[in-house]
Amino acid sequence: MEWEFELDLKTEGGLELSNRLKKEEITLTFGIDIYLLCNDYPLINEQSSLETVPTEEGYIVATKFNAIIIVFTKVNGSLSSAQKIGQMISLEGMSKSNLKEIAQGDSINLVLAYEEPDTPKIAEINKKIIIIMIIGSSILIILLIIKFIFK
């Protein structure tokens, strides 16, 4: 099974996890709870900007207790001393029963890997802008020459 998520690079934990994943894949064993997946993986510390994070479906949260938590079922409540570091793009197949089917006991191994977003490179965009400017300038020069010739 494969799930996609987007990390929040404006948070310390999201940026840290992104940097680690750019270097190598990370395999983590998550425990399956009633409404979340939880593991032991330090990303942030007590000096990080922590808050109380609601337990919303799809939230990926880092806690000061050295855990990454993926919430797959909305419940009333929140996680204190935590930082929302990302969001699952789709929760399809992420129910407790589905997770239990692919798990070994009450835990599941997940391989986290970095995938470059499908966004155009800035250099490619700049190249197109320069080409458009050259073509536009050439047309303008030709029109000015024509104007002076037929005066």
The model's pTM: 0.73
Q: At residue 93, what is the residue type? A: G
Q: Nearest CA to 83 among 109, 117, 48?
A: 48
Residue 19, number of CB atoms within 10 A of its CB: 12
The per-residue pLDDT for range 35-83, each reduced to its tens digit, is 888 888 888 887 888 999 999 999 999 998 889 999 988 888 898 899 9
Listed in order, strand segments (DSSP E) in the chain are: 5-7, 26-32, 36-40, 51-54, 59-63, 67-71, 78-88, 107-112
- Its sign, for the CA torsion 104, 64, 93, 15, is negative
Q: Nearest CA to 38 among 9, 59, 7, 20?
A: 59
DSSP 48: S
The per-residue pLDDT for range 121-146, each reduced to its tens digit, is 677 778 888 899 999 899 999 888 88
The per-residue pLDDT for range 72-115, each reduced to its tens digit, is 888 888 988 999 999 999 888 888 888 888 887 888 889 999 98
Residues in the chain: 151
Quote the tokens at residue 95: 């129910």
Give dist(CA 107, CA 125) in Å, integer: 45
Helix (H, G, I), strand (E, B) or coil at 41: coil
